[in-house]
Amino acid sequence: MIYGFTMHLTLQQLRLFEAVSRLGSYTRAAEELFISQPAVSIQIKRLEAQVGLPLFEQVGKKTFPTAAGKTMYNASLDILNRVDQLKNSIEELKGTVKGSLQLSVVTTAKYFLPSLLGAFLQKYPDVEPKLKFTNRARVIERLMNNEDDFVIMGQIPEDDNLEAYPFLNNILGIVAPANHPLVNKKNITIEELADQRFLNREVGSGTQYVFDQILKDHGVKIKPYMELGSSEALKQAVMAGLGIAFLSLHSVQLECDVNKLTVLDVAGFPLKRRWYAVHLKGKKLSLVARTFLDYILKESSQVLGVEYE
Ligand code: PGA
């Protein structure tokens, strides 16, 4: 039985199975992998026939893994990762910069990372990037579990087991609509800001973490007017006049240029922090990951322009 099972298991079936499990839907897995939905069902049925147990159960419109499905999912992740690593190692032996590049990136870095990656891919078109944009808390989780080649973040956790490479400036300030009453005021104190309607990022955001630390250092308490899940949502809300927010100025560059938003002159702001590429100490980076890391360390300012210097 076991013999027959291993003999007939194909990587394509595992890829389909992984996608159905992750997305909880045959239709979405079919869309992601550019094949028809019936083709997915047939392959999953074949897989189930070999395993001898159902892998999924349908509850209402959702597809859930059975106990056998969960076991199979963990194994399929291991196998598919191993195959990716194998592909990368072979390319490395050939000396070609080719294969997968898996990165986790804090959401705020979406304002510059795609440009860096785009320029890099022009030079190395055979690299297959996989990006996960998520907030700081989740990026740290993935970093500690060694799920990526490396991660990009602004606020590194204190941990001796990490290797961090600073590569760009991250300037953070208090952003308001261009017609806000405090626009022309100089040297506003943080204490004065406490009465303003503040729009906050969600718990787990690196930007929010920095701001909370500053408030704590000043002994100032601000009751957020509203909490929103991304810097993009905050920016739109500030533009709509709902309040003011602490944001990375990279996320509001265009809006400031066309005078929709402005950066308030608050004492001690804007803050100058850095962006970092981070991985666990001792991690052996693939050739692709090493080349991209090298690229962002050396070329970022030139690709992105002066505002990051
Ligand atoms: P965030 O992280 O996008 O989760 O706010 C930003 C940062 O790490 O500086």
Q: Could you please report the per-residue DSSP string of 125-193?
A: TTEEEEEEEE-HHHHHHHHHTT-SSEEEESS----TTEEEEEEEEEEEEEEEETT-TTTT-SSB-HHHH
Residue nearest to atom 8 of ligand 1 (CA): 154
pLDDT for the residue numbered 101: 95
Distance between Cα 137 and ligand 1 center (Å): 9
> What 3-state class would DSSP assign to 119?
helix
- For residue 281 the two structure tokens come to 């100490």
Q: Residue 265 pLDDT > 90, yes or no?
A: yes
List Cβ neighbours of 301 (8 Å cut-off, separation of 6 or more). Answer: 168, 308, 309
Query: For the segment 173-208, what is each residue's pLDDT rounded down to a tens digit?
Result: 999 999 999 999 999 999 888 889 999 999 999 999
Distance between Cα 257 and ligand 1 center (Å): 23
pLDDT for the residue numbered 123: 95
pTM: 0.77
How many angstroms separate the CA atoms of 42 and 36, rounded? Answer: 10
Rounded mean pLDDT, 199-222: 92
pLDDT for the residue numbered 59: 87
pLDDT for the residue numbered 308: 59
Q: What are the respective helix, strand and coil percentages of the chain, to the nearest 5? A: 50, 25, 30
User: Which of 46, 69, 47 lies closest to 57, judged by CA?
Assistant: 69
Q: Which residues line ligand 1 (CB under 6 A)?
A: 106-108, 135-136, 153-155, 201, 205-207
Query: For the segment 112-150, what is each residue's pLDDT rounded down to a tens digit?
Result: 999 999 999 999 999 999 999 998 999 999 999 999 999
> What 3-state class would DSSP assign to 264?
coil
Residue nearest to atom 2 of ligand 1 (CA): 206
- For residue 276 the two structure tokens come to 């970092």
